[in-house]
Structure 1
Amino acid sequence: MAETQVDENAQDSGRDARAARKAARLAKQIRSFADAHGGAEGQLAYIGQTGTRIVLVGEDGAWGDLVAPTHAIAVGAAEKSGITLHEHFDGEFAGKVRTGPYEWTRMAGIQVGGPSAG
Structure 2
Amino acid sequence: MADTQQVDTQQGEAKADRRTERRVARLARSIDSFSKAHGGAEAQVAYLGERGARIVLVGEDGAWGDLVARSHETARLAVEKSGLTVHEDFDGEFAAKVTTGRYEWSRMAGIQVGGPSNT
Residue 16 in 1 paired to residue 5 in 2? no
**Length, aligned pairs only:** 117
Deviations 1:32-78 (A, max 9, x none): 00000000000000001111000000000000000000111001100
Contact 1:104 1:114 in 2 (8 A): no
Gaps of 5+ in 1: none
TM-score (norm 2): 0.93
Paired amino acid for 1:55: V
For residue 41 of structure 1, what is the aligned residue in structure 2?
42
Aligned-partner Cα distance in 1 for 2:83–2:112: 38
Residue 68 in 1 paired to residue 69 in 2? yes
Gaps of 5+ in 2: none
Q: Which secondary structure does the structure 2 equivalent of 1:74 belong to?
A: helix
Query: Once the 2 structures are TM-superposed, how far is the Cα of residue 116 of structure 1 from its aligned partner?
Result: 2.3
For residue 97 of structure 1, what is the aligned residue in structure 2?
98
Aligned-partner Cα distance in 1 for 2:10–2:102: 52
Q: Which secondary structure does the structure 2 equivalent of 1:61 belong to?
A: coil
Compute the RMSD of aligned alpha carbons.
1.4
Percent of aligned pairs with the same amino acid:
56
TM-score (norm 1): 0.94
Runs of 4+ in structure 1 displaced over 6 angstroms? Answer: none
Deviations 1:74-112 (A, max 9, x none): 011001111100000000000000011221122x12164
Paired amino acid for 2:116: S
Q: Which secondary structure does the structure 1 equivalent of 2:67 belong to?
A: strand
